[in-house]
Amino acid sequence: MKLKFYSLLAAFCLLTPLISSSIAQVKDNQLSSQEQKEGYKLLFDGKSTKGWHLYNQGKIASVWVAKNGELKCTPGLEAAHGDLVTDEKFENYELKFDWKISKEGNSGVFINVLERKDIPTAWASGPEYQLLEKSHYDYEKEMKRSGCLYNFSKQLNNAELKPLGSWNQSVIKQQNGVIEFYLNGILTAKQDFKTKEWREAIAATSFSNFPEFGKFVSGQIALQDWNKGVSFKNIKIKNL
């Protein structure tokens, strides 16, 4: 019995450093060894806004700052406002990110954005993965809840937000113009941007006033500044 006990104790002592090492490697704004194997790269390094710029304004000081490992939109700052857009364009990819939002907050992530001087905002071309805090007045509208393809479809499956102040996990997949949105592990939206159905859906909304909206299956990714606090971290992307 003693021999068996000491054998188990020795095995535990050998495994503990390995387990601790594995846990220590999974830090915010870093890639795990598995993510590296899968081809992910960081879109936020945890320290700067490198790789991003203000839509149609370039790399200027703005309400978007990197602080405490978070990419934050801080509307109280006396600085330039606008959506933060990637320097790069993407087509077939899987994007994952963590986010939290202020009370009554409203933000979003735009995809397939066309940045052009005659297009005033990112949402004038890019469909939106909605981010909305539950106490916001728009929460009563099912097509405007978090995880929705904003203003086009309600959640495919019910996905709840984490408590206020907690981090939510989101995924956006796009392949050959077909998108899938996930919120906290649950599929919330799916749409083929190449279909007649999609064009008809646009025509039935106010987005029809913006001729470039929803036309593209590639482009930049943008984070929305909607004059409320929102934070992001662990923004990672891989090509599909």
User: What are the mean pLDDT values of the chain's consecutive 10-residue runs (240 residues total)?
Assistant: 46 46 71 98 98 97 96 89 98 99 97 98 98 95 97 97 98 99 99 98 98 98 91 99
Q: Is residue 103 part of a domain?
A: yes
Q: Is residue 4 part of a domain?
A: no
* Residues 6+ away with beta carbon under 8 Å from 106: 131, 132, 133, 136, 138, 226, 228
Q: Is residue 11 part of a domain?
A: no
3-state SS, the chain, equals CHHHHHHHHHHHHHHHHHHHHHHHHCCCCCCCHHHHHHCCEECCCCCCCCCEEECCCECCCECEEEECCEEEECCCCCCECCCEEECCCECCEEEEEEEEECCCCEEEEEEEECCCCCCCCHHHCCCEEEEECCCCHHHHCHHHCCCCECCCECCCCCCCCCCCCCCEEEEEEEECCEEEEEECCEEEEEEECCCHHHHHHHHCCHHHHCCCCCCCCCEEEEECCCCCCEEEEEEEEEEC
151 closest CA partner among 127, 180, 172, 174 = 127
29 closest CA partner among 73, 86, 68, 74 = 68
* Residues 6+ away with beta carbon under 8 Å from 77: 63, 65
- 143: CATH: 2.60.120.560
Q: Is residue 101 part of a domain?
A: yes
* Size of the chain, expressed as the number of residues it contains: 240
Question: Rounded to two decimals, what is the model's pTM?
Answer: 0.89
Q: Is residue 185 part of a domain?
A: yes
Beta-sheet pairing, 230-239 with 70-73: antiparallel
- Give the pLDDT score at 233: 99
- Give the pLDDT score at 24: 52
C-beta atoms surrounding 15 within 10 Å = 10
- Give the pLDDT score at 6: 47
Give how many domains the chain has, as a whole number: 1
Q: Is residue 17 part of a domain?
A: no
- Give the pLDDT score at 55: 98
- Find the domain containing 67 and state its range: 27-239
Q: Is residue 21 part of a domain?
A: no
- Give the pLDDT score at 212: 98
Q: Is residue 18 part of a domain?
A: no
